[in-house]
Copies of this chain bind each other. A is one copy, B any other.
Amino acid sequence: MSLTVVLCSGGIDSATLAYKVAVERKLDRLISFDYGQRHRREIEHAARIAAALGARHDVVDITALGKFLTSSSLISGGDAIPDGHYAQDNMKSTVVPNRNAIMLSIAFGIAAGAKADAVGIAVHSGDHFIYPDCRPAFIDAFRTMQQRALEDLWEVELYSPFTTTDKAGIVAEGARLGVPFHLTWSCYKGGEMHCGRCGTCVERREAFHLSGVPDPTQYEDADYWLQAIAEMKKTKGG
Residues of B within 8 A of A152 (CB): 132
Query: For residues 120 through 174 of chain A, which have their beta carbon under 8 Å from a beta carbon of chain B?
Result: 132-133, 135, 137-138, 141-142, 144-154
CB pair B97–A109 under 8 Å, yes or no, is yes
CB pair A102–B97 under 8 Å, yes or no, is no
Q: How far is the CA of A198 from the CA of B83 in the complex (A)?
A: 56
Query: For residues 88 through 105 of chain A, which have their beta carbon under 8 Å from a beta carbon of chain B?
Result: 95-102, 104-105
CB pair A65–B109 under 8 Å, yes or no, is yes
Most chain B CB within 10 A, of A71, A112, A133, A145, is at A145
Q: Using A64-B60, A101-B145, A141-B141 as known contacts, say yes or no to A69 and B150 having CB atoms under 8 A apart.
A: no
Confirm or deny: A106 has a beta carbon within 8 angstroms of a beta carbon on chain B.
yes
Contact with A149, one of B100, B108, B149, B153 (Cβ below 8 angstroms): B100
**Nearest CB in chain B: distance from A188 CB, A:** 19
Interface residues on A, range: 35 or more
CB pair B150–A98 under 8 Å, yes or no, is yes
CB pair B102–A98 under 8 Å, yes or no, is no
Confirm or deny: A61 has a beta carbon within 8 angstroms of a beta carbon on chain B.
yes
CB pair B149–A98 under 8 Å, yes or no, is yes
Q: Using A109-B69, A110-B69 as known contacts, say yes or no to A101 and B149 having CB atoms under 8 A apart.
A: yes
Closest Cβ neighbor of A112 among chain B residues: B97
> Could you list which residues of chain A lie within 8 angstroms of chain B, going by C-beta atoms?
58, 60-62, 64-65, 68-71, 95-102, 104-106, 108-110, 112-114, 132-133, 135, 137-138, 141-142, 144-154
A68-B109, A135-B151 known, 11 other contacts, Cβ within 8 Å: A64-B64, A69-B109, A95-B153, A97-B109, A97-B110, A101-B149, A102-B109, A104-B105, A132-B152, A141-B144, A144-B144
